[in-house]
């Protein structure tokens, strides 16, 4: 009875509190966009034409997926909206832009209200006094994604322009929790002292009164558990001057708190409400999450969460997805975080910029620790303006994401001096180093002032310059982006580098902030090599790095680069305009190597994956006999058995989360079954590979179809993803078979087979990116008949500026030789191409295909190359029997 009475009382009091609080509405509809380069509002307002209806989030840079010269310029957005007088009575009205890249001028009814610099954090505009109630309002936003004073000045990712996150219309009572404190929640929750027994909670914030009268209010701060039960509370009266503000700090205690951790991400919420003095009218209310946890880092012992050692293992996350660019929905952001969690990470580096609040919320809820950073990347400009923009980016990031328990470290620079050596004359270098150091010290100080509880960090590229100039002495944690075995050197140089670093600076906690290798599923190799972009090299690379990182306790953690294949318009590698170091493709399909990470990181579920998804359709070279291909299984089980087409192969022990079987493949479908035991239960996975056979001795082929394509100068199978045709890895000629005679593989940089050249006019870029130089002939021993022979040539040598991300590239080698090359080509002694010059025919970075139909009578088709000037070369060859 008593309970019922209390309930009624409760309900009636709740009912009696009038909610005059804030209303937050999406403001994403009804926008118009114009790709108009004019900065002048009046001019643009006059334009009736050229506006296209858009829905936010929006970017104008879908072009970045197809060109390096994507649109970096001004654009305009406009939207009409109405407000009525009744709606505005006693209200304040704000617009909150979650992010606009990179610069935004916001005009309302022809008046400039604000200019925001920085493309990755939110900003709020108070429009109360500017909004009309008697006529429609016209909101116009001028956006520019090219600015040399706003970080980043450079970087290996696309600067997608646009209003690419949500916009909100917020209506609040005259008295409310601040909405304009760097677009933060206006509330800051800290844990000044915390243990398993007790958490002391500090809740700070600013209350504002936009009324002409002084306000006396009730401030109620509550901590609620997941059932919504109040577990700590403080209640007090506050007075706020007319048109004034009031800063408060409340202290609360929690006994025996539930701790937050990756395994158990328990979230309390802190509710701050502001009511009129009688507690009858709710003026404003906001809730933020609270995860009770503490952490520390030590150069010897690594990271500890709630007193327990925890190796921080995860990946870096860029945010784009084709074709939306970075204009992703909240659901898509959350999906990414869930995928990371599924992969087993406990740590994410949000690189290279602050990300959507939906991302951070997901990390809180899923239990993933976060390194978040501002986009000061590659280069730092001299002068106050850049410094001011970097500082406000840092302040915004910290304030906006302050209450996310997942965040443990803030970063403020990535490879900050990598561009200097290319862009700045030697005699000015020291000045630029000084400038970078001064900015770093200033940002470090700002960071610690804004947030004394989190760690500071930055990432360096694998160069001693950071130690030399002292940049690596500033933050709490040193991050190293290391690519040994990809851009340069070999895998073991990674060990040498980190061991030496730790030996020299034993007091410095060290994180491997990036490590990764590129891969393109069109390239597959049985003989993978550094920088060949084959799926297999990426696997080898990562299979080396994970255990190397794991076995070194002094490495605090590591984040693989990158969780997804991401947009980097200026990239000219196998997958043009894409950095393809992802563990997932850009459309979020997992690469096989995703499961290596999963097997490595997850102990809670059985992982068993036959790593053939990236290479399901194969062409093997054989005269009919079964051909053995290595097939890898990724697993966290102890032992796995593999069978193919119903025949058991063997049971193998799993080491480093994988085992490899030599599997005999036959033409057509090959069904693979992997099985193992986990906690007494059988685990099984089934996968198919589909095989086509390409005869080795084509001379012996009867009258059937004969089509043979070779990826000249490459160790990789290249599959055209549209036609399905497989271009085989190159081989030396042997009698009765086919192959090259003379010449050598073209290495763009010493030891690196792959190239970084853009090749225009083809979808099959990687096929054209490798070649054989100085080639004398290509010979096929084959049955007589009518053939079509096709030669592929690509000019990879147009001189182009060096790209910074290519950390290992040394000046290109044979440019001059190829540029001016002139050669003759004949087929079976018959002249075909005379004084052939690719540079003259198609020009820089273009490719060409030449086809000739010829009757073969002598049992071989031989293409001869003879240099007239410079060097002969060939990128691909295909023969096809017509009759």
Is position 537 an interface residue for ligand GCB (rule: CB under 6 A)?
A: no
CB of 563 to ligand GCB, least distance (A): 12
Residue 468: both structure tokens together: 């030399």
CB of 416 to ligand GCB, least distance (A): 10
Closer CB to ligand GCB, 175 or 319, in the complex: 319
Is position 320 an interface residue for ligand GCB (rule: CB under 6 A)?
A: no
Contact between residue 430 and residue 466 where contact means Cβ atoms under 8 Å apart:
no
CB of 146 to ligand GCB, least distance (A): 19
Contact between residue 143 and residue 75 where contact means Cβ atoms under 8 Å apart:
yes
Residue 618: both structure tokens together: 């194969």
**Which string of x and - marks every residue 333-352 that binds ligand GCB (by CB under 6 A)?**
-------------------x
Site residues for ligand GCB, 714-773, by CB under 6 A, read none
Near ligand GCB by CB under 6 A: residue from 75, 261, 321, 414: 414
Closer CB to ligand GCB, 246 or 412, in the complex: 412
Check if 788 is active-site. no
Find residue 371's DSSP bridge partners.
349, 409
Q: What is the DSSP letter of 253?
A: E
Contacts of 434 (CB under 8 A, 6+ apart): none
**Which string of x and - marks every residue 133-172 that binds ligand GCB (by CB under 6 A)?**
----------------------xx----------------
CB of 242 to ligand GCB, least distance (A): 50
Is position 415 an interface residue for ligand GCB (rule: CB under 6 A)?
A: yes
Tell me the C-alpha distance between 454 and 294, whole Å.
10
Contacts of 714 (CB under 8 A, 6+ apart): 532, 729, 730, 745, 753, 770
Q: Residue with CB nearest ligand GCB? A: 156
Tell me the C-alpha distance between 404 and 384, whole Å.
31
Sign, CA dihedral 578-584-587-588, equals negative
* Residue 626 burial (C-beta neighbours within 10 Å; 0-12, 13-18, 19+): middle
Quick one: how many helices (H) and strands (E) in the chain?
Answer: 15, 55
Q: Closest Cα to residue 28, out of 77, 82, 101, 76?
A: 77
Site residues for ligand GCB, 501-530, by CB under 6 A, read 514
Is position 481 an interface residue for ligand GCB (rule: CB under 6 A)?
A: yes
CB of 377 to ligand GCB, least distance (A): 7
Site residues for ligand GCB, 648-707, by CB under 6 A, read none
Contacts of 232 (CB under 8 A, 6+ apart): 201, 222, 223, 252, 253, 254
For 418, 432, 433, 630, the CA distances from 428, given in Å and listed in that order, are 15, 7, 9, 53
Closer CB to ligand GCB, 675 or 804, in the complex: 804
CB of 518 to ligand GCB, least distance (A): 7
Is position 461 an interface residue for ligand GCB (rule: CB under 6 A)?
A: yes
Q: Closest Cα to residue 513, out of 579, 559, 544?
A: 559
Catalytic residue, candidates 415, 488, 501, 560: 415
Closer CB to ligand GCB, 288 or 439, in the complex: 439
CB of 561 to ligand GCB, least distance (A): 5
Closer CB to ligand GCB, 158 or 206, in the complex: 158
CA count, 13 A, side-chain hemisphere, 510: 26
Three-class SS state of 538: helix
Closer CB to ligand GCB, 206 or 457, in the complex: 457
CA count, 13 A, side-chain hemisphere, 146: 10
Residue 15: both structure tokens together: 């009912």
Tell me the C-alpha distance between 402 and 239, whole Å.
26
Contact between residue 70 and residue 61 where contact means Cβ atoms under 8 Å apart:
yes
Contact between residue 613 and residue 690 where contact means Cβ atoms under 8 Å apart:
no
Residue matched to tokens 């620079």 = 413
Near ligand GCB by CB under 6 A: residue from 182, 805, 836, 865: 805
Total of chain residues touching ligand GCB, rule CB under 6 A: 12
Closer CB to ligand GCB, 356 or 378, in the complex: 378
Closer CB to ligand GCB, 117 or 461, in the complex: 461
Closer CB to ligand GCB, 541 or 805, in the complex: 805
Site residues for ligand GCB, 34-63, by CB under 6 A, read none
Contact between residue 535 and residue 519 where contact means Cβ atoms under 8 Å apart:
yes
- Alpha-carbon 212 to chain mean position: 49
> CA triplet 718, 586, 74: central angle to 5 degrees?
115
Closer CB to ligand GCB, 512 or 607, in the complex: 512
Site residues for ligand GCB, 564-593, by CB under 6 A, read 579, 581
CB of 407 to ligand GCB, least distance (A): 20
Tell me the C-alpha distance between 211 and 89, whole Å.
11
Catalytic residues: 415
State the residues that interact with ligand GCB by CB under 6 A. Answer: 155-156, 352, 414-415, 461, 481, 514, 561, 579, 581, 805
């Amino acid at each position: 009875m008593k309970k019922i009475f209390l309930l009624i009382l409760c309900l009636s009091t709740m009912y009696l509190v009038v909610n005059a609080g804030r209303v937050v509405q999406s403001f994403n509809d009804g926008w118009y966009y114009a790709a108009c380069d004019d900065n002048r509002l009046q001019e643009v307002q006059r334009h009736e034409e050229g506006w296209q209806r858009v829905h936010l989030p929006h970017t104008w840079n879908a072009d970045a997926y197809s060109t390096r010269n994507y649109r970096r310029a001004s654009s305009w957005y406009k939207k009409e909206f109405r407000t009525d007088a009744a709606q505005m009575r006693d209200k304040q009205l704000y617009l909150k832009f979650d992010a606009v890249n990179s610069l935004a001028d916001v005009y309302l009814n022809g008046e400039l209200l604000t200019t925001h610099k920085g493309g990755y954090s939110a900003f709020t505009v108070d429009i109360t006094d500017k909004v009309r109630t008697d006529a429609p309002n016209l909101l116009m936003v001028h956006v520019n994604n090219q600015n040399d004073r706003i970080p980043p000045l450079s970087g290996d990712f696309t600067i997608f322009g646009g209003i690419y996150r949500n916009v909100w219309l917020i209506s609040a009572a005259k008295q409310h929790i601040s909405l304009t404190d760097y677009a933060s929640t206006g509330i800051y929750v800290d844990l000044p002292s915390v243990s398993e027994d007790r958490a002391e909670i500090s809740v700070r914030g600013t209350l504002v009164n936009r009324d002409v009268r002084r306000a006396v209010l009730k401030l109620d701060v509550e901590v609620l558990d997941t059932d919504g039960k109040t577990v700590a509370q403080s209640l007090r009266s506050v007075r706020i001057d007319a048109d004034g503000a009031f800063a408060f700090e409340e202290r609360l205690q929690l006994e025996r708190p539930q701790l937050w951790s990756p395994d158990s991400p328990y979230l309390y919420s802190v509710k701050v409400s502001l009511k009129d003095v009688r507690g009858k009218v709710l003026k404003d209310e906001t809730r933020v999450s609270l995860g009770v946890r503490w952490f520390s880092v030590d150069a010897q012992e690594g990271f500890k969460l709630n007193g327990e050692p925890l190796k921080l293992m995860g990946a870096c996350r860029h945010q784009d997805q084709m074709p939306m660019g970075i204009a992703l929905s909240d659901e898509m952001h959350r999906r990414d975080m869930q995928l990371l969690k599924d992969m087993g990470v406990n740590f994410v580096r949000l690189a290279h910029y602050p990300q959507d609040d939906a991302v951070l919320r997901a990390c809180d809820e899923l239990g993933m620790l976060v390194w978040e950073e501002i986009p000061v990347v590659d280069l730092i400009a001299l002068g106050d303006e850049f410094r001011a923009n970097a500082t406000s980016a840092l302040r915004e990031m910290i304030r906006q994401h302050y209450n996310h328990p997942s965040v443990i470290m803030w970063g403020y620079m990535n490879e900050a001096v990598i561009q200097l050596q290319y862009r700045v004359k030697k005699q000015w270098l020291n000045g630029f180093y000084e400038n970078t150091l001064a900015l770093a010290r200033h940002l470090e100080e700002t960071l610690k002032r804004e947030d004394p509880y989190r760690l500071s960090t930055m990432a360096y590229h694998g160069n001693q310059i950071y130690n030399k100039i002292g940049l690596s002495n500033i933050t709490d944690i040193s991050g190293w982006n290391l690519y040994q075995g990809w851009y340069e050197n070999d895998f073991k140089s990674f060990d040498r580098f980190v061991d030496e670093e730790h030996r020299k600076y034993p007091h410095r906690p060290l994180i491997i902030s990036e490590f990764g290798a590129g891969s393109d599923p069109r390239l597959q190799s049985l003989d993978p090599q550094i920088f060949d972009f084959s799926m297999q090299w990426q696997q080898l690379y990562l299979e080396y790095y994970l255990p190397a990182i794991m076995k070194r306790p002094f490495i605090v953690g590591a984040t693989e680069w990158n969780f997804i294949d991401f947009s980097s318009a200026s990239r000219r590698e196998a997958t043009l305009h894409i950095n393809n170091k992802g563990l997932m493709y850009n459309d979020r399909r997992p690469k096989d190597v995703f499961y290596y990470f999963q097997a490595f990181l997850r102990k809670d579920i059985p992982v068993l994956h036959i790593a053939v998804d990236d290479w399901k359709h194969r062409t093997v070279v054989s005269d009919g006999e079964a051909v053995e291909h290595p097939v890898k299984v990724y697993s966290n089980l102890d032992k796995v058995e593999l069978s193919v087409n119903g025949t058991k192969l063997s049971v193998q022990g799993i080491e480093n989360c994988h085992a490899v079987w030599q599997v005999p493949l036959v033409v057509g479908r090959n069904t693979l079954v992997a099985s193992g035991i986990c906690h007494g239960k059988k685990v099984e996975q089934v996968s198919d590979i589909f095989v086509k056979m390409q005869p080795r001795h084509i001379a012996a082929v009867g009258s059937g179809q004969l089509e043979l394509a070779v990826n000249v100068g490459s160790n990789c199978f290249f599959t055209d993803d549209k036609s399905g045709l497989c271009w085989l890895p190159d081989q030396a000629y042997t009698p009765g078979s086919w192959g090259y005679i003379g010449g050598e593989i073209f290495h763009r940089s010493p030891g690196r087979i792959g190239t970084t050249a853009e090749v225009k006019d083809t979808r099959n870029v990687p096929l054209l990116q490798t070649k054989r130089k100085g080639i004398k002939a290509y010979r096929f021993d084959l049955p007589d008949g009518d053939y079509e022979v096709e030669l592929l040539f690509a000019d990879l040598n147009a001189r182009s500026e060096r790209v910074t991300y290519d950390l290992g590239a040394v000046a290109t080698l044979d440019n001059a030789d190829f540029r001016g090359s002139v050669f003759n080509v004949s087929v079976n002694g018959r002249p075909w191409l005379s004084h052939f010059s690719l540079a003259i025919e198609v020009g820089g970075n273009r490719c060409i295909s030449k086809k000739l139909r010829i009757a073969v009578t002598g049992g071989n088709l031989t293409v001869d190359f003879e240099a007239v000037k410079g060097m002969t070369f060939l990128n691909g060859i295909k023969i096809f029997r017509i009759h």
